[in-house]
């Protein structure tokens, strides 16, 4: 569990969207990570993470696709169910996958209802601003908490063409600020800002009353999110400037597997104590 000297919210038994709002008001940074399975989610929750995102990055890190586009609603629900089973304290947010909410608010509502009903998650996250507002409104009208996602929105990678930093030009920066206000006004409980200039993220965080969570958006936001497999050093190919690696698990795992192979081949394993 998290130590009380680093969090005023250590004793909170369940993180809700209201707790996140309180964290913003009390200047406590929100710690968010992705998880896609029971075992990892359990470790994150026990360590005291505030928010777990069942991200559609599962498409990349769990399924090996080159983008987030292929993952399906059924697959996201499978990951979400596994995560929710593990969680006692963290707020669980589930990404709505590509093609389940864009351009059709009725389908958006049906998709969000399936996620909430079948997984027991606490909220959904969707990418975009003005263009998806009707879907946001309809999902919110059913009482489902919605988190926005602006800046680099990986589901639009074929429109952007690259994963470079977004909103460096004034026109795109202005649209991002406008979109953040629209999402707040619509009733979103928070917004993820991905890979945008730190100064712009600071401006949005100052103007918007709901929590702003950054990934590659600098320190002047209300919290941070990273993809678990990146911060643990399981993925190796992906190393943007914003990523801090807390471990080099890819080497450790491969080292352990090599030791196991050696022990099996040399009949060092199992030994006398490891048999019946």
Catalytic residue set: 194
Q: Is 192 in the site for ligand KIV (CB under 6 A)?
A: yes
95 CB-near residues (< 8 Å, 6+ apart): 53, 54, 55, 56, 57, 68, 76, 124, 125, 126
Least Å distance between CB 61 and ligand KIV?
Answer: 8
* Cα 151 to Cα 132: distance, rounded to the nearest angstrom: 14
Of 141, 106, 220, 128, the C-alpha closest to 182 is: 128
Instruction: Map the footprint of ligand KIV across residues 28-47, applying CB under 6 A.
Output: 34
Instruction: Map the footprint of ligand KIV across residues 76-95, applying CB under 6 A.
Output: 95
Question: Segment contacting ligand KIV (CB under 6 A): 53-61, 113-121, 233-241, 259-267?
Answer: 53-61
Least Å distance between CB 124 and ligand KIV?
Answer: 12
Closest residue (Cβ) to ligand KIV?
A: 55
35 CB-near residues (< 8 Å, 6+ apart): 41, 44, 52, 53, 54, 83, 228
Question: Segment contacting ligand KIV (CB under 6 A): 6-14, 52-60, 85-93, 196-204?
Answer: 52-60
Question: Segment contacting ligand KIV (CB under 6 A): 55-63, 96-104, 112-120, 178-186?
Answer: 55-63
Question: Segment contacting ligand KIV (CB under 6 A): 49-57, 116-124, 134-142, 176-184?
Answer: 49-57
* Cα 23 to Cα 137: distance, rounded to the nearest angstrom: 25
Of 162, 240, 167, 169, the C-alpha closest to 204 is: 167
* Cα 251 to Cα 42: distance, rounded to the nearest angstrom: 23
- Work out which of 40, 91, 210, 215 binds ligand KIV, going by CB under 6 A: 215
- Work out which of 40, 96, 225, 231 binds ligand KIV, going by CB under 6 A: 225
- Work out which of 33, 41, 48, 55 binds ligand KIV, going by CB under 6 A: 55
CA 119 to the chain's CA centroid: 16
Nearer to ligand KIV among residue 11 and residue 66 (C-beta): 66
CA 217 to the chain's CA centroid: 14
Least Å distance between CB 122 and ligand KIV?
Answer: 16
Q: Is 56 in the site for ligand KIV (CB under 6 A)?
A: yes
CA distances from 186 to 87, 131, 135, 136, 152 (A): 29, 13, 10, 7, 21
Of 165, 76, 172, 177, the C-alpha closest to 118 is: 76
Instruction: Return residues touching ligand KIV (CB under 6 A).
Output: 34, 53, 55-57, 95, 192, 194, 215, 225, 227
């Amino acid at each position: 569990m998290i130590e009380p000297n680093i969090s005023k919210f250590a004793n909170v038994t369940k993180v809700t969207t209201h707790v996140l709002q309180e964290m913003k008001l009390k200047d406590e940074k929100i710690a968010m990570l992705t998880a896609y399975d029971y075992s990892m989610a359990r470790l994150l929750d026990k360590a005291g993470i505030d928010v777990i995102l069942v991200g559609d990055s599962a498409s990349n890190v769990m399924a090996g696709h080159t983008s987030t586009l292929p993952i399906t609603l059924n697959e996201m629900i499978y990951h979400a169910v596994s995560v929710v089973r593990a969680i006692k304290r963290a707020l669980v947010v589930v990404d709505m996958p590509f093609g389940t909410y864009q351009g059709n608010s009725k389908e958006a509502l049906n998709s969000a209802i399936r996620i909430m009903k079948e997984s027991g998650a606490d909220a959904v996250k969707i990418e975009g601003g003005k263009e998806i507002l009707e879907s946001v409104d309809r999902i919110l009208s059913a009482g489902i908490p919605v988190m926005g996602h602006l800046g680099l929105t990986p589901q639009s990678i074929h429109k952007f063409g690259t994963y470079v930093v977004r909103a460096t030009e004034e026109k795109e920066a202005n649209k991002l600020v406008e979109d953040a206000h629209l999402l707040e006004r619509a009733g979103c409980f928070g917004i993820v800002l991905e890979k945008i200039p730190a100064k712009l993220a600071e401006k949005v965080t100052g103007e918007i009353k709901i929590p702003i969570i950054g990934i590659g958006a600098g320190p002047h936001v209300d919290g941070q999110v990273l993809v678990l497999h990146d911060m643990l050093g399981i993925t190796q190919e992906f190393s943007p400037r914003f990523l801090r690696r807390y471990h080099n698990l890819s080497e450790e795992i491969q080292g352990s597997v090599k030791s196991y192979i050696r022990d099996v081949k040399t009949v060092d394993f199992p030994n006398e104590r490891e048999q019946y």
